[in-house]
Structure 1
Amino acid sequence: MLYIFDLGNVIVDIDFNRVLGVWSNLGRVPLANLQSRFHIGEAFEYHERGEISDEEFAARLCAELDVALSYPQFEAGWQAIFVGVRHETLAIMQQLRQQGERVVILSNTNKLHTQFWPSQYPEVQQSADHIYLSQELGMRKPEARIYQHVLAQEGFSAEQAVFFDDNQDNINAAKALGITSVWVEDSRTVPGWFAR
């Protein structure tokens, strides 16, 4: 079987409020203002496909949020998103690999974050056979083509794959292709699914 794991809030806990908290302090803007303006829109999608640079993304997001930040200040907040790894999920991934199963990560991410988390959490890379990143592939979830790409690269059919993700749109897109898909609501979902 092919087991496909998302990264954020599946393997590594992330929290956008931590990001906004740093930007609120540095930009001297009330946190509530940033929270009300923050959404994952076009700039995110372009950035996650590698279609715009980190600097352009920073400029666009600061404009959307109406906050004045230098690029180093933006980056400091952006990397605050990471909370820590889910050790139980990593242990399951390692166990699957020891049993001869294929384990990969499929993440919507960006260059800035991939300069950070691999050094912070080396155990994540050690728990997967391969890591597929949206900005390197030029496509992102929930686009059907990104799932099809992973299946083709790995040599598995949709029926031979299981996908774990915390985003319902991503889950629905994978299901539509015939991939067994598990919506990860919290840190208990993945261990619970394997326990069953």
Structure 2
Amino acid sequence: MIKNIIFDFGDVFINLDKQATYRELYKLGVQDISEEMMQVYYNYEMGLLTTDEFVEFFHNTFQLKKEDLIAAWNAILLDFPLHRLAFLKELAKNKSYRLFLLSNTNDLHISWIQNDWGTALYNEFKSCFEQFYLSHEIKMRKPNTNIFEFVLKENDLIASETIFIDDTRENTEAAQKLGIHVWNNNPETEDVVELLKRKEFKG
């Protein structure tokens, strides 16, 4: 029986264009993504680098204007369909499940979201969750096993009573190995508002 729901953020609630940042960086002359760049990105996403250090790396490596890099970096972020917020608020109001957010999110992205949505909408969304875990704040990221173990232990959750929704397969596979139920949602054909129709919630 499902008692706990852990949600991803991007392409579950907020829509993303995952190729947008690569396209915008390419226009700025960054035509190859190196292993070093990916490691810098992962470190930033885990809060091991400050925003200034992250921006400085690209500025020094590619001579990019800082404002151009930030604009390219945030190009991935699109809209937040409000029918998803309505679904989430109803779920929170019913109190049938414990709700958590677990997102690989960095400081630049969350700052853009807070600014784009405004404080009231952001707080309305955030208040629906018992815990709101962002990778750069807890110094861990998916799909590393320790982040899922942390959420389970921190909140006394039983894996078999928990479902995790994420659009990235390697993340759901990692959670599944710990005995957590998963929904690897396809953002092009599926919507989080369909969650309670799934077999895990029947019977």
CA contact (8 A) 1:118 1:124 kept: no
CA contact (8 A) 2:104 2:141 kept: yes
Paired position in structure 1 for 2:78: 83
CA deviations on 1:38-69 (whole Å, 9 max, x unpaired) are 78821221111111222332344567xx7431
SS in 2 for 1:15: coil
Structure 1 stretches of 5 or more lacking a match? none
1:7 to 6, 9, 16: 9
SS in 2 for 1:139: coil
Deviation, structure 1 residue 137: 0.8
In 2: Cα distance, 1:103 partner to 1:5 partner: 8
In 2: Cα distance, 1:58 partner to 1:170 partner: 27
2:21 to 19, 22, 26: 19
In 1: Cα distance, 2:67 partner to 2:127 partner: 30
Paired position in structure 1 for 2:201: none
Spell out the pairing of 1:117-196 with structure 2 (5 A cutoff).
117-121=113-117, 122=122, 123-186=124-187, 188-196=190-198
What letter matches 2:128 in structure 1? S
**TM-score, normalised to structure 1's length?**
0.82
1:108 to 101, 104, 107: 104
SS in 1 for 2:75: helix
**RMSD of equivalent CA atoms:** 2.5
Paired position in structure 1 for 2:94: 99
Deviation, structure 1 residue 103: 1.2
What letter matches 1:162 in structure 2? I
Structure 2 stretches of 5 or more lacking a match? 199-203
Structure 1 runs of 4+ aligned residues shifted over 6 Å read: none
Deviation, structure 1 residue 119: 3.3
- Identical-residue share of aligned pairs (%): 27
Residue 139 to residue 114, structure 1, CA distance change in 2 (3 Å): same
1:50 to 38, 47, 50: 47
Residue 93 to residue 58, structure 1, CA distance change in 2 (3 Å): same
Structure 1, 11-20 or 121-130: larger mean CA deviation: 121-130
In 1: Cα distance, 2:139 partner to 2:167 partner: 21
CA contact (8 A) 1:10 1:86 kept: no
In 1: Cα distance, 2:161 partner to 2:59 partner: 42
**TM-score, normalised to structure 2's length?**
0.80
